[in-house]
C-alpha cells in the first residue's frame, strides 16, 4: 500500500514562488520547466512544494481561498505573450520588482491587471484549439467548484476583499436572487476568473507532463483544514461547524506544549464530520481526486486531526479551553480507498503523536515523516532506526535552514547549552564538520532506509537563517525568500548529483549486506 516507489529517491523542497526569474515570483511555466532540467542534473527525482491554492492575507499557502483553485500569481506570463494574450512591453513593470524576495504588495496588483488583460483577450478571440481545451476544462470543473469560486472572488473584490461573513447579508446567506443578480452584473469579471483558472490548469498540465517525461515526481501539500474565508466555506457551509452567517462554533488549534504555554489558535472552522459521514465523505473524495490529478504525491498537513483534533470554542482567548474530539478515523480512508484506490499521500505526523494516530497511518500503509533537526538532539536517536515507510527530511519549510539551526539564531527557542549539545550530537552522527554540516545532514538523510529523503533547497545551497521561508506563529515577512539564478552553479549541480549517486550506491550495498 506504500505510495512511494521502492527505489531509493532523493528530493528537494522548494516552493514554486521561490524559483528564480525576472518577473517578481517563480512560476509554473518557464521557471518550473527550467528547474526540472536542473533537478535531473542534480539526480533529484522528487520535487516537493507548498500548497498551490490562491493566497490571501499574510500570503500563506496554508490559508488558501479555495481547496481546488490554483494561485494565479504562479501563472507564467511569458507563455501568455507567445499566445498573443499579452504584449512584451506589458511585462516591463514586473522586471523592476526585487529578485531576492517576493514583494507581494507590489506584485499582486500588477499581475492581477495583466492576467485580467490576458483573460479579456482570450474572451474576445481565443484560438480554436484553446477554445476546445477551455470547454473541456469547464465541463470538468465548472459545476464542481469553478463557478462558485469565480463568483466568490468577484464578490470578495466588490466587498473590498473583506471575509465573506462581512458581506451584505444576501450574499452571506447565498440568497438565490442576490446571487443571480451578481452573476448578471459581473458576468465578464466572472468569466475572466474562470479563464485565469484555465490558464493555470493549462500550464500545470504542461509542467506535470514534462516532469513525468523526466521521471520526476511532483510532491504537493494539502492543509487538513480549509480557511473560513474561502470559496469552499462560503458555498458549502454545511461542511463545517458554522452557522448561516459564517460564525464558527468551534475552531482548530493545538493544546499547550513546550513551544507555547497557551497552545495555538489556528482559527480554522472545524469540519462537521457527521455530515461528511452521511455523504460518504464525498467532498473529501473529490478533494483528494483533484489533488492526485495535479501531483504524484501529496503531504497532508496535521494528519493527526483525522484521529482526534483539538476543538476550541469560538471566541476563546487561548487554546487552553479546548478539548480532544474524535475525528473520522479509518472510515474516511475506507471511503477514499474505495473510490480512488491506493492513496498517494504522506502523513505529516510530527509533534505529539499517540499510538492511535500511528495505528491509523500504519493500517493504511501511509508513510510518515522524520525531520532530522528534531531528532539529532535526542541521545537515543539512531539513523538506523528510521523506518523504510517514511520520508526523511533534514528540515522543512517551517524550520530554520540547517546552517541556521546548527549555529542558532534570534528566533531559536533553544538555550545556548541546548544548541551546543545539538551541535556536538550532529557532528557525531554525521561525522562531518561545522563548515559542511548542511551537506553532512543531507548525506545522513540519504543514508537512512527511508523510501525518500528530502532537503530544502536552502540546505543544498548552504544558506543561513536569512534564507528561512517561514517562522510559525508569525505573519510578517514569511513566504518571501527566492533563489537566485547564479546560486545553482554548474559545479554545485554536478557535485550534488555525484553526492546523491554515491549515497544511493552506499545505501544499496548496506541494505544488500543486511538482507
Residue 413 CA to residue 85 CA, distance in Å, equals 50
Catalytic residue among 356, 358, 398, 412: 398
Angle at 462 between CA 477 and CA 220, to 5 degrees: 60
Q: Are 371 and 445 in contact (CB under 8 A)?
A: no
Catalytic residue among 148, 232, 348, 375: 348
DSSP state of 262: T
Distances (CA, A) of 225 to 287, 304, 379, 387, 393: 12, 12, 35, 28, 24
- Is 504 strand, coil or helix? helix
Is 388 catalytic? The answer is no
Angle at 194 between CA 190 and CA 200, to 5 degrees: 145
- Is 331 strand, coil or helix? helix
* Rg, C-alpha atoms of the chain: 23
Residue 99 CA to residue 168 CA, distance in Å, equals 40
Q: Are 61 and 15 in contact (CB under 8 A)?
A: yes
How many separate helices (H) and strands (E) can be counted in the chain? 19, 12
Q: Left if phi > 0, otherwise alpha if psi is -120 to 50, otherwise beta: which for 283?
A: alpha
Residue 228 CA to residue 222 CA, distance in Å, equals 16
What b-and-e string marks burial along 315-341, b requiring 16 or more CB atoms within 10 Å of the CB?
eeeebeebeeeebbbeebbebbeeeee
445 Cβ partners below 8 Å, 6+ apart?
A: 372, 392, 393, 394, 453, 454, 455
SS3 of 128-191: the string is HHHHHHHHHHHHHHHHHHHHHHHHHHHHHHHCCCCCHHHCCHHHHCCCHHHHHHHHHHCHHHHH
Other beta carbons within 10 Å of 498: 12
509 Cβ partners below 8 Å, 6+ apart?
A: none
Is 451 catalytic? The answer is no
Catalytic residue among 286, 301, 356, 387: 301
Angle at 221 between CA 215 and CA 222, to 5 degrees: 140
Is 59 catalytic? The answer is no
Q: Which three cell numbers stand for residue 37?
A: 532540467
Active site positions, annotated = 301, 348, 398
Amino acid at each position: 500500500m506504500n505510495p512511494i516507489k521502492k527505489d531509493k529517491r532523493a528530493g528537494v523542497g522548494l516552493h514554486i514562488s521561490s524559483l528564480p526569474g525576472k518577473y517578481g515570483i517563480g512560476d509554473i511555466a518557464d521557471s518550473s520547466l527550467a528547474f526540472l532540467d536542473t533537478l535531473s542534473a542534480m539526480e533529484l527525482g522528487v520535487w516537493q512544494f507548498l500548497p498551490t491554492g490562491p493566497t490571501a492575507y499574510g500570503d500563506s499557502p496554508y490559508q488558501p481561498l479555495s481547496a481546488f483553485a490554483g494561485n494565479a500569481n504562479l501563472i507564467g506570463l511569458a507563455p501568455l505573450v507567445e499566445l498573443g494574450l499579452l504584449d512584451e512591453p506589458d511585462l516591463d513593470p514586473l522586471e523592476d520588482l526585487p529578485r531576492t524576495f517576493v514583494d507581494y504588495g507590489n506584485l499582486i496588483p500588477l499581475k492581477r491587471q495583466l492576467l485580467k488583460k490576458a483573460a479579456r483577450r482570450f474572451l474576445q478571440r481565443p484560438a480554436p484549439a484553446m477554445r476546445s481545451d477551455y470547454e473541456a476544462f469547464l465541463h470538468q470543473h465548472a459545476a464542481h467548484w469553478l463557478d462558485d469560486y469565480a463568483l466568490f472572488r468577484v464578490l470578495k473584490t466588490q466587498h473590498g476583499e473583506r471575509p465573506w461573513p462581512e458581506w451584505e447579508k444576501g450574499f452571506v446567506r447565498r440568497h438565490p436572487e442576490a446571487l443571480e443578480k451578481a452573476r448578471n452584473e459581473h458576468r465578464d469579471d466572472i468569466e475572466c476568473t474562470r479563464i485565469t483558472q484555465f490558464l493555470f490548469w493549462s500550464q500545470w498540465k504542461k509542467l506535470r507532463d514534462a516532469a513525468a517525461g523526466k521521471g520526476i515526481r511532483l510532491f504537493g501539500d494539502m492543509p487538513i483544514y480549509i480557511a473560513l474565508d474561502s470559496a469552499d466555506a462560503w458555498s458549502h457551509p454545511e461542511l463545517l461547524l458554522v452557522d448561516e452567517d459564517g460564525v464558527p462554533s468551534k475552531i482548530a488549534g493545538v493544546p499547550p506544549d513546550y513551544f507555547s504555554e497557551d497552545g495555538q489558535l489556528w482559527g480554522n472552522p472545524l469540519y462537521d464530520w457527521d455530515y461528511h459521514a452521511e455523504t460518504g465523505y464525498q467532498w473529501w473524495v473529490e478533494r483528494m481526486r483533484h489533488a492526485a490529478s495535479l501531483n504524484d504525491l501529496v503531504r497532508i498537513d496535521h494528519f493527526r486531526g483525522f484521529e482526534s483534533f483539538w476543538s476550541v470554542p469560538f471566541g476563546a482567548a487561548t487554546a487552553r479551553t479546548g478539548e480532544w474530539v474524535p475525528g473520522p478515523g479509518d472510515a474516511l480512508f475506507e471511503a477514499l480507498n474505495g473510490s480512488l484506490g491506493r492513496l498517494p499521500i504522506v502523513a505529516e505526523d510530527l509533534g505529539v503523536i499517540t499510538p492511535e494516530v500511528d495505528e491509523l497511518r500504519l493500517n493504511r500503509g501511509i508513510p510518515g515523516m522524520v525531520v532530522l533537526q528534531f531528532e539529532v538532539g535526542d541521545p537515543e536517536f539512531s539513523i538506523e532506526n528510521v523506518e523504510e515507510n517514511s520520508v526523511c527530511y533534514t528540515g522543512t519549510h517551517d524550520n530554520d535552514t540547517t546552517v541556521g539551526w546548527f549555529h542558532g539564531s534570534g528566533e531559536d527557542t533553544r538555550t545556548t547549552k541546548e544548541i551546543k549539545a545539538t551541535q556536538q550530537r550532529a557532528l557525531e552522527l554525521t561525522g562531518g564538520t561545522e563548515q559542511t554540516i548542511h551537506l553532512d545532514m543531507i548525506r545522513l538523510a540519504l543514508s537512512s532506509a527511508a523510501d525518500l529523503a528530502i532537503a530544502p533547497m536552502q540546505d543544498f545551497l548552504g544558506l543561513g537563517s536569512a534564507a528561512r521561508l517561514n517562522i510559525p506563529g508569525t505573519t510578517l515577512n514569511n513566504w518571501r525568500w527566492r533563489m537566485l539564478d547564479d546560486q545553482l552553479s554548474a559545479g554545485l549541480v554536478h557535485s550534488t548529483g555525484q553526492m546523491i549517486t554515491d549515497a544511493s550506491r552506499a545505501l544499496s550495498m548496506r541494505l544488500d549486506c543486511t538482507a
